Amino acid sequence: DTAVSQTPKYLVTQMGNDKSIKCEQNLGHDTMYWYKQDSKKFLKIMFSYNNKELIINETVPNRFSPKSPDKAHLNLHINSLELGDSAVYFCASRAPQTGELFFGEGSRLTVL
Amino acid sequence: GNSVTQMEGPVTLSEEAFLTINCTYTATGYPSLFWYVQYPGEGLQLLLKATKADDKGSNKGFEATYRKETTSFHLEKGSVQVSDSAVYFCALWPGNTGKLIFGQGTTLQVKP
């Protein structure tokens, strides 16, 4: 039973299109994140939600819009995709007492 | 501010060699420290952690000791295997702020 699951695992699309990635966690955690990993494996935090409220927004372009319908779900919608958006996007949830993050398997986005 | 610095990779070793990946941090207060591992094509998973000074985290033959005097959390393994080939991330959680801070990652390649 996967703790943090994200779909789809792969997206290939053209510049200018819009795409969404969904994430769900069954750990009962209040806090969830989106990270972007570039080709050099560098991890950059994008957003964090705590119990459906946005708490971290790290200077991400407005084309990226997270949505948290409930504390178990955090989705990411990207408008007007650009070549530089090509990356692997990871969803994670955080254990409240220890700070440990539990990651999904990643969604590899390729913009052509 | 809080930050994590890891040694540059890639690190290439022969099987059964000794591994050290250096990690130093800057933080106010008393952060928790983590090592995460990312195997090819997968998400990050927790390898080990330490929550206070002088704690030693260990898992799968890997160890790291939380050294407050040198602000370090170096990862070591006595005898690496080909299956240890992965990207290793050192991370710091200051507590409460909700933001886990990652180092830039170190790629380890173990050759038979």
Q: What average pLDDT does this structure show over A35-59?
A: 91
Burial of B105 (0-12, 13-18, 19+ CB in 10 A): buried
Beta bridge partners of B72: B24, B67
CB-nearest to A106 from B43, B51, B93 is B43
pLDDT at position B35, please? 98
Are B44 and A98 within 8 A, CB to CB? no
Q: For the segment B89-111, what is each residue's pLDDT rounded down to a tens digit?
A: 999 998 876 688 999 999 999 99
Q: Enumerate the residues of chain A whose CB falls inside 8 A of the CB of residue B1.
A: none
Residue B12 has pLDDT above 90, yes or no: yes
Measuring CA to CA, how many Å separate B90 from each of A33, A86, B103?
Answer: 18, 24, 5
Average pLDDT value over all residues in chain A:
93
Residue A14 has pLDDT above 90, yes or no: yes
pLDDT band at residue B112 using 50, 70 and 90 as cut-offs = very high
pLDDT at position B20, please? 97
Q: Tell whether A5 is within 8 A of chain B (Cβ).
A: no
Are A31 and B98 within 8 A, CB to CB? yes
List the beta strands (DSSP E) in A1-112: 4-7, 10-13, 19-25, 31-37, 43-50, 53-57, 64-70, 73-78, 87-94, 101-103, 107-111
- E strand or H helix at B4: strand B3-6
Instruction: Give the DSSP letter string of B16-43.
Output: T--EEE-EEEE-SS--EEEEEEE-TTS-
pLDDT at position B18, please? 98
pLDDT at position B97, please? 62
Residue A99 has pLDDT above 90, yes or no: no
Are B45 and A103 within 8 A, CB to CB? yes
Rounded to whole angstroms, the maximal C-alpha distance in chain A is 42
Q: What average pLDDT does this structure show over A85-101?
A: 92
CB-nearest to A90 from B43, B46, B93 is B43
Q: Tell whether A103 is within 8 A of chain B (Cβ).
A: yes
pLDDT at position B87, please? 97
The residue type found at B6 is: Q
Residue A69 has pLDDT above 80, yes or no: yes
Rounded to whole angstroms, the maximal C-alpha distance in chain B is 43
Which of A12-21, B26-35, B72-81, B94-103 is predicted least confidently? B94-103
Q: Enumerate the residues of chain B whose CB falls inside 8 A of the CB of residue A92.
A: 44
